[in-house]
Amino acid sequence: MAAEAVRLQKVIAQAGVASRRAAEQLILEGRVTVNGQVVSALGTKVVQTDEVAVDGVPLDGQEKPVYYLLNKPRGVVTTSHDDKGRKTVLDLLGEEVTARVYPVGRLDYDTTGALLLTNDGELANQLMHPKHKVDKVYTAKVKGLATLPALAPLKKGILLHGKRTAPARVAVEQVDTKKQVSYVRLTIHEGRHHQVKEMLAQVGFPVEKLTRDRYAFLDLQSLPAGDYRPLKHDEVKRLKAGDYRFLRRK
């Protein structure tokens, strides 16, 4: 029986080198070889006996998958490397993290909160794919006195850059009439650039501070800003099974 052919970017992701999307970029940049030959076509498929290498490093030295939840602080970029020399989320990790992890999705430079880091490209691709609708819960400190009627358009979806957002869940947590600010909770499952800030600004409430409190069922609990923890076995199992439900603690 012939060996099953698998797309090259999927093989790279499964090896923990990068997410599938990032693996596609590696291929396009000519950094991937198959049996010693540079491959730059995204439709390329390989079988188990093929020798695949990225930047000259064979995939057969595959790392053990690892998974971390980080409480990202302000003033840190969500990337593996920053051309401007700013601190990245990887700079927050201790020496015990030896695997080549990378962030799942992104948070803005001045946004804080829950961020997953892993070297499991398949899981990262699963979580970032829009069809899986992974909830991300944010708390935003906004200018103005927010009300549910004013936020109602977000529940139906609004146009941002010509594309309608998916319906969001909204709640007003607190209103400070003296300081003329409000705290709004917003739950979305998309991940467009600056999406939460732009959504709230469009309905009249510019964001002053933004925190992602929860990613799927994972919340920060007592995890201080800048700290991280490995995911528990059951948490990884739930994510891989597509169980993203948030179960409130008693």
Closest-CA residue to 137 (of 220, 25, 23): 220
Report the Cα 86 to chain-centroid distance in Å.
Answer: 19
| 108 included as an active-site residue | yes
- Dist. CA 76–CA 225, nearest whole Å: 11
Taking CA atoms, 22 is separated from 33, 104, 155, 216, in Å, by 16, 11, 32, 22
- Dist. CA 13–CA 10, nearest whole Å: 5
Q: Exposed (0-12), middle (13-18) or buried (19+): which is 203, by Cβ within 10 Å?
A: middle
β 57-58/52-54 pair status: antiparallel
Task: Give the contacts of 211 (CB within 8 A, at least 6 positions apart).
Answer: 111, 112, 113, 138, 139, 140
Taking CA atoms, 224 is separated from 9, 67, 152, 210, 219, in Å, by 36, 18, 33, 16, 12
Q: From the candidates 55, 60, 91, 108, which is the catalytic residue?
A: 108
Structural contact between residues 71 and 29, judged by C-beta atoms closer than 8 angstroms: no
Q: Which residues are catalytic?
A: 108
